[in-house]
């Protein structure tokens, strides 16, 4: 999904009008895990550039970092830049956000402006870009080989992704594991095979899905790989509050964990449930106990099963509160019928015959006339010997017997 500037129109060469010549979006709204720069079109860009910290994304937004522009390099959102790395060397990333919005993002993530923030070194040269592109091409093949080596060593782990540094001197292997892993022999094998500096970093199942990406059951791209950055714990209680069936296959996402979207509307359901009566699962009547088996939270309706071969009774929340208050006072009702009769039925819609020319009775009469005409037609052919009637407008089939002129089978040439 493109941003508004890209969707506004295209140039003659077919490239979206909002994108720069290097392929980056001028607003930062087209790449994964990006923040839309809603201040880019406002006429105070000089005030924006006064903030010397920029947000840089690596590997299509799978990882982000903040870097200080101490050298006053003329760079904007969407430009590729060379940044400093804490372990030595340099890395290449794309500026995903700049200006005053970076200050807000840092405040949101509790990052102080006076903290130790690495520097933005320079704009990349052609040689830097060549080394960076070659390193990016090796990531997929390195991941497959790393999986083979870990399987040969019998380690219970999964290599989910590999990310090379921009200068090609270091590779970070992201893995998931359910138990503690001994990396001493594994790192030796990786260093011998890849001949670079190795870093192992453990991630969770949700982080792995965000790095790989995919399509969810809703038909859209995964939230964790597009905009969701903070992963909160999801429990089955969120599904129970929303009256969802506890089905593990339907409630699980691509990562195998509970879907993050279960938390999106949870606050709305909790606010709606505040006015519902507590301990209303069972209502005691003189006819027997009535059990709650269905609740419509937003319509404020509750269905109770009635003892005996009777249909369930639908009650409003106010009616259930009245019944509970009566039970507390010792006034046990005979049944729930008198409370159920208070509900107002939905108004019936008056349908109008917009055709006005034909009715179902006229159509039935027309069909009956056709059937009578077919029955009154005489058959032109007599019935066959087998009891079947010959087809209409076709002459009867006559069978002729061929007479052998030479019954004694005498050869006339003899």
Domain match, 42 and 113 both: yes
Q: Going edge to edge, which strands form the sheet with 158-164?
A: 158-164, 170-176, 197-202
Domain match, 255 and 287 both: no
Domain match, 72 and 120 both: yes
Decide if 326 is inside a domain: yes
pLDDT recorded at residue 31: 47
User: What gap in Å lies between CA 318 and CA 300, rounded to an integer?
Assistant: 9
387-394 CB contacts, 8 Å cutoff, 24+ apart: none
Domain end point (choices 313, 340, 367): 340
Q: Going edge to edge, which strands form the sheet with 120-122?
A: 63-68, 53-58, 90-97, 80-84, 120-122
Q: How would you label 143-179 residue by residue, b for 16+ Cβ within 10 Å and e otherwise?
A: bebbbebbeeeebebebbbbbbbbbebbbebbbeeee
The secondary structure of the chain in percent helix, strand, coil, rounded to multiples of 5, reads 30, 20, 50
Q: Do 145 and 174 touch, CB atoms closer than 8 A?
A: no
pLDDT recorded at residue 10: 44
Decide if 346 is inside a domain: no
- How many domains, the chain? 4
Domain match, 138 and 179 both: yes
Supply 311's token pair. Answer: 């249909």
CATH number for position 154: 3.30.300.20
* Residue 271 DSSP SS3: helix
Domain match, 33 and 85 both: yes
Domain match, 9 and 115 both: yes
Q: Do 399 and 385 touch, CB atoms closer than 8 A?
A: no
Residue 101, Ramachandran bin (φ over 0: left; ψ between -120 and 50: alpha; else beta): alpha
pTM to 2 decimal places: 0.65
Domain that holds residue 332: 282-340
67 DSSP 8-state letter: E
Decide if 387 is inside a domain: no
Measured CA distances, 159 to 50, 75, 156, 329 (Å): 42, 35, 10, 65
Q: Do 24 and 37 touch, CB atoms closer than 8 A?
A: no
Domain match, 161 and 248 both: no
Domain end point (choices 272, 296, 319): 272
SS (H, E, C) 109-149: CCCCCCCCCCEEEECCCHHHHHHHHHHHHCHHHHHHHHHHH
Decide if 392 is inside a domain: no
Biggest CA pair distance of the chain: 129
Domain match, 112 and 137 both: no
User: What gap in Å lies between CA 36 and CA 54, rounded to an integer?
Assistant: 14
User: What gap in Å lies between CA 156 and CA 244, rounded to an integer?
Assistant: 34
Angle made by CA atoms 311, 313, 318, in degrees to the nearest 5:
180
Percent of the chain whose pLDDT exceeds 70: 70
Domain match, 40 and 120 both: yes
Give the DSSP per-residue string, 355-413.
Answer: --S--HHHHHHHHHHHHHHHHHSPPSSPPPTTSPPPPTT-PPP---PPPPS-TT---TT
Domain match, 325 and 234 both: no
> Under 8 Å CB-to-CB from 85, ≥6 apart: which residues?
91, 118, 165, 170
* Residue 209 DSSP SS3: helix
Decide if 324 is inside a domain: yes
Kindly state the helix (H) or strand (E) to which residue 193 belongs, with its residue range: helix 184-194
Low-confidence ranges of the chain (pLDDT < 50): 1-5, 7-31, 45-48, 341-347, 349, 384-391, 400-401, 412, 414
Bridge partners of residue 158, in order along the sequence: 176
pLDDT recorded at residue 20: 42
What is the number of residues in the chain? 414
Domain match, 60 and 166 both: no
Domain match, 266 and 287 both: no
Domain end point (choices 292, 309, 340): 340
Decide if 242 is inside a domain: yes
User: What gap in Å lies between CA 204 and CA 160, rounded to an integer?
Assistant: 10
Decide if 286 is inside a domain: yes
pLDDT recorded at residue 335: 82
Decide if 319 is inside a domain: yes
């Amino acid at each position: 999904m493109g941003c508004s500037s890209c969707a506004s129109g295209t140039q003659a060469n077919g490239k979206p009008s909002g994108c720069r010549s290097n392929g980056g979006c001028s607003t930062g709204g087209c790449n994964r895990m990006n923040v839309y720069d809603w201040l880019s079109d406002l006429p105070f860009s000089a005030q924006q550039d006064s903030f010397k910290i920029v947000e840089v994304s690596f590997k299509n937004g799978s990882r982000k970092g903040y870097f200080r522009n101490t050298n006053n390099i003329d760079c904007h959102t969407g430009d590729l830049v060379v940044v400093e790395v804490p372990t030595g060397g340099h890395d290449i990333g794309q500026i995903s956000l700049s200006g005053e919005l970076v200050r807000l993002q840092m405040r949101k993530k509790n990052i102080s402006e006076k903290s130790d923030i690495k520097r933005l070194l320079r704009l990349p040269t052609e040689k830097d870009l060549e080394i960076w592109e070659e390193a990016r091409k090796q990531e997929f093949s390195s991941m497959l080989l790393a999986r083979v080596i870990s399987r040969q060593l019998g380690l219970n782990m999964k290599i989910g992704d590999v990310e090379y540094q921009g200068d090609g001197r270091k590779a970070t292997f992201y893995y998931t594991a359910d138990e503690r892993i001994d990396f001493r022999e594994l790192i030796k094998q990786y260093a011998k095979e890849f001949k670079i500096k190795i870093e192992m970093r453990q991630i969770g199942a949700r982080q792995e899905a965000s790095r790989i990406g995919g399509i969810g059951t809703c038909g859209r791209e995964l939230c964790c790989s597009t905009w969701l950055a903070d992963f909160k714990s999801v429990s089955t209680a969120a599904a129970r509050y929303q009256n969802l069936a506890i089905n593990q296959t339907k409630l699980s996402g691509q990562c195998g964990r509970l879907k993050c979207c279960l938390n999106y509307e949870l606050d709305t359901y909790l606010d709606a449930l505040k006015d519902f009566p507590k301990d209303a699962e069972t209502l005691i009547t003189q006819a027997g106990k009535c059990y709650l088996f269905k609740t419509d939270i937003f319509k404020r309706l509750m269905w109770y099963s009635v003892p005996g071969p009777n249909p369930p009774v639908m009650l409003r929340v106010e009616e259930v509160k009245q019944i509970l208050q009566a039970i507390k006072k010792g006034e046990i009702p005979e049944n729930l019928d008198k409370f159920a009769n208070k509900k107002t039925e939905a108004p019936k819609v008056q349908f109008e015959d917009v055709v006005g020319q034909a009715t179902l009775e006229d159509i039935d009469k027309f069909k009956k006339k056709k059937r009578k005409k077919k029955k009154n037609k005489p058959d032109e052919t007599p019935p066959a010997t087998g009891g079947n009637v010959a087809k209409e407008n076709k002459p009867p089939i006559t069978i002729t017997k061929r007479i052998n002129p030479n019954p004694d089978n005498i050869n006339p040439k003899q």
